[in-house]
Amino acid sequence: MISSIIFILLLLGGGILFTINARKVRRNILLGKEINRKDNFPQRIKLMTLVSLGQRKMFERPIPAILHLFLYVAFVITQIELIEIICDGSLGSHRMFRPALGGFYTFMVSFIEILSVLAFIGTIAFLSRRNLLKVPRLVKNELNGWPKLDANLILLSEITLICFIFMMNGADEVLYSLHQSHAVDLNEGTLGLAISSHLGPFLFGGMSEHSLHIIERVGWWGHIGMVLWFLNYLPYSKHFHILLAFPNVFYSNLNPKGKFTNMDSVTNEVKAIFDPSFVPPVADPNIPMRFGAKEVTDLTWKQLLDSYTCTECGRCTSSCPANITGKLLSPRKIMMSTRDRLEEVGKNMDANGVFKDDGKSLLGDYITAEELWACTSCNACVQECPVNIDPLSIIIDMRRFIVMEQSAAPTELNGMFTNIENNGAPWQFGQADRLNWKNE
């Protein structure tokens, strides 16, 4: 009874804490400007199924895709076992589904164990790729410090969780063989699990019943403890993409890549000039009118959702021609910087009730103009992202602010702007001379 009460309190506490942190993330995302992404519902469902659930874009790089698939499938399928653990912990039972499911129970838990072994292999491989092989896209400067620690911490946690699973199942296998399991069907041979039926006797055979019960309980409590820890770690980690990848892909930009959006602020200004009957929408006096984006609140909620969904895998940066040729731009760093600034704004709001000007902004303090102007607008980063993040849209909006509000475009662009204004073309000759090449 006491253990059930402790379990329920831990479960409720973990759930409440996660809800509080998840609501803060949601609040931060909704600081962005409104954008309509509710059209073409069937197409969006299809895209989410293929890209998020089906991992379609991951398999453009087969080796990491297969390793990731091990972890992904294990994570999804093991939630079935988690349901039983929650029921057992709440009711004080042990393997309560086994009597009713019989052989199917053995099959499912065995399948979960096999997936756990594959996940263990994938985790070791990912640790090696980051820390031993040092794959170039995984050792860039923007990953120094917390991002590297975050990645390693979650991988080590995955290994710990798998160890707890096999402690629980392995010790229980030996207890079953001794007819000393917690379960009601004490006289029925063993569990017969695919891995633990061999691993359990090898590791725990010959131990006393008391020691086996302790190991099994440590594995059981460790399993649920790691799940609750992981759940509440997610909002602070890049691994929040586990939950956000689905809505992020659902709300993808369905327009052809390279099609830029029109700014409502500019459109309304032009309409007001050429259409005397046009009535511009009433602007919120608390929101400053800006052309482009200087701060995270100038971006759309989808761009902010992108920043929280970023997996920091670096596929965008490894495909970026500017980064490949040594330029400062890294699309991954654009997303990470946006998220970092958004988190800082959120903490500011938590501390002061409302946002209190801290003298910082996304442009300048987190992302520099040099990074933005290195972009070739080729959309390689958008194409490569496995969860359909769009770093280019943020880059373009910040460039617009530099040009239209700061008048700080590069000299080459200023010359082009002047030529377009005076000659109607980017070149230094008039309209009448533009087609002279035909006569040559």
Mean pLDDT (whole number) for 331-340: 97
The reported pLDDT for the residue numbered 191 is: 79
CA distance 419 to 11: 66
CATH topology of domain 253-423: Fumarate Reductase Iron-sulfur Protein; Chain B, domain 2 (1.10.1060)
Across the strands, what pairs with 300? 33
CA distance 174 to 206: 9
Nearest to 227 by CA among 53, 69, 83: 83
Instruction: Find out whether 351 and 359 touch, Cβ atoms under 8 Å.
Output: no
The reported pLDDT for the residue numbered 277 is: 83
Q: Identify the sign of the CA torsion 381, 385, 391, 392.
A: positive
Mean pLDDT (whole number) for 210-221: 93
Mean pLDDT (whole number) for 373-379: 94
The reported pLDDT for the residue numbered 185 is: 56
Looking from the CA of 212 toward its CB, the CA atoms found within 13 Å total 24
The reported pLDDT for the residue numbered 189 is: 64
3-state secondary structure 249-280: HHCCCCCCCCCCCCCHHHHHHHHHHHCCCCCC
Mean pLDDT (whole number) for 14-42: 94
Asked whether the predicted pLDDT for residue 183 surpasses 80, the reply is no
Q: What residues does each domain of the chain span?
A: 2-30+61-240, 253-423
CA distance 80 to 97: 11
Asked whether the predicted pLDDT for residue 180 surpasses 90, the reply is no
Provide the 3-class DSSP secondary structure of residue 91.
helix
| Res. 192 pLDDT band, cuts 50 70 90 | confident
Question: Which amino acid does the sequence have at 11?
Answer: L
Instruction: Find out whether 157 and 127 touch, Cβ atoms under 8 Å.
Output: no
Phi-psi region of 410 (alpha: psi -120 to 50; beta: other; left: phi over 0): beta
CA distance 391 to 380: 10
The reported pLDDT for the residue numbered 171 is: 92
DSSP string, 144-180: TTHHHHHHHHHHHHHHHHHHHHHHHHHHHHHHHHTT-
Looking from the CA of 338 toward its CB, the CA atoms found within 13 Å total 37
Nearest to 292 by CA among 406, 379, 151: 406
Q: What is the mean pLDDT of the chain?
A: 89
